[in-house]
Amino acid sequence: MTQGAPHIPVLLEEVIDALAISPGETHVDGTFGAGGYTRAMLKAGARVIAFDRDPDAIAAGQAAGEPGLTLVQDRFSTMAQHVAEPVDGVTLDIGVSSMQLDQAGRGFSFQADGPLDMRMEQMGETAADFLNSADEADIADVIYRYGDEPKSRRIARAIVAARPIERTAQLASIVRRAVGWRDGQKSDPATRAFQAIRIHINRELEELEDGLIAAERVLKPGGRLAVVTFHSLEDRIVKRFLRDRSGQRPAGSRHLPEVGASGPAATFEAVSKPVRPGEAELTRNPRARSATLRVARRTSAHFWPDQLRGAA
């Protein structure tokens, strides 16, 4: 990790302040990326166990050979399988990284043409595989659910009619034509479609849910959880998890037990209100505009008996 790292993580100072690191602590960085959060944690005196599912990110971190850092090439939802002792903090920066977006060959963005890939782990089904084989209804469902796109059925119909689709520029053009979008108009619909397909290919929301459960298991009493999200789907999951785990959920039902005497004890308590980037950071990094940081402190209660989908 050199001083020339590709980008500065969103809300870096706020995250490090919230973690309140003391020298000698052990922290998990669930999304290593360019190593920005990890570097700041190491500077504060922590030992860091950093996860990333992207082999390129792990290779870059290994090349730097930073003392006090352990790198794990795996999804952060598996952290309980890799962490031997309870840790003092867990940080999760959700979504796609700037490095991934800026590399046309990875296929995450339509800003420059490239293969329609979108795989964070660089293995398994690509975006092209999905779009060229899935039923029209399934494609529409993905674009509507993860992209909040009201014209998802029209877009899915156009995708199926245009098969095979192999390039990012090709997909962006198909989406724009399907909804009648023109250059100069606001809110390019290709952005929503690309987000939706990427989330589906990488199971990002399921990974977040399982990662929060894993963090609950590895944090020691008093340990801090810091989560940075970039759109409402992610933030809603974090907000609901912390609400439930802190005992703020409404009265239970047969599906959801009450927190307290008749159900699991609260495992987290809120540390602060949600934090969002200030104007100075937005000027430096417009991609930070939708970011939200939520922070909570682990109680001494036993973790809830959830099943980790990502553990298999």
pLDDT at residue 46 tops 90: yes
The domain spans of the chain are 12-99+211-311, 111-202
Band the pLDDT of 310: cuts 50, 70, 90: very low
Lowest mean pLDDT among 33-37, 41-45, 93-97, 158-162: 93-97
The CA–CA distances, whole Å, from 203 to 5, 54, 119, 133, 241 equal 27, 14, 10, 18, 18
pLDDT score, position 149: 96
pLDDT score, position 183: 83
pLDDT score, position 289: 87
Joined together, the tokens standing for residue 162 give: 């245009």
Average pLDDT rounded to a whole number, residues 182-196: 90
Average pLDDT rounded to a whole number, residues 48-53: 97
According to DSSP, the β-strands at 26-29 and 47-52 are parallel
Give every strand in the sheet of 219-229, ordered side by side.
69-73, 47-52, 26-29, 87-93, 219-229, 292-298, 268-270
Do residues 92 and 208 touch, judged by C-beta distance below 8 A? yes
Band the pLDDT of 80: cuts 50, 70, 90: very high
pLDDT score, position 64: 85
Phi, psi of 38 (to 5 degrees): -60, -45
Q: What is the DSSP letter of 303?
A: P
pLDDT score, position 65: 84
Let me know if domain 111-202 sits in CATH 3.40.640.10.
no
Band the pLDDT of 5: cuts 50, 70, 90: very low
Fold of 12-99+211-311: Rossmann fold (3.40.50)
Q: Is there a common fold for 12-99+211-311 and 111-202?
A: no
* Bridge partners, residue 294, by sequence: 227
Average pLDDT rounded to a whole number, residues 42-60: 96
pLDDT score, position 256: 53
Alpha helices in the chain (DSSP H): 12-19, 36-43, 55-64, 79-82, 98-102, 127-133, 136-147, 152-162, 168-179, 189-202, 204-218, 232-245, 279-284
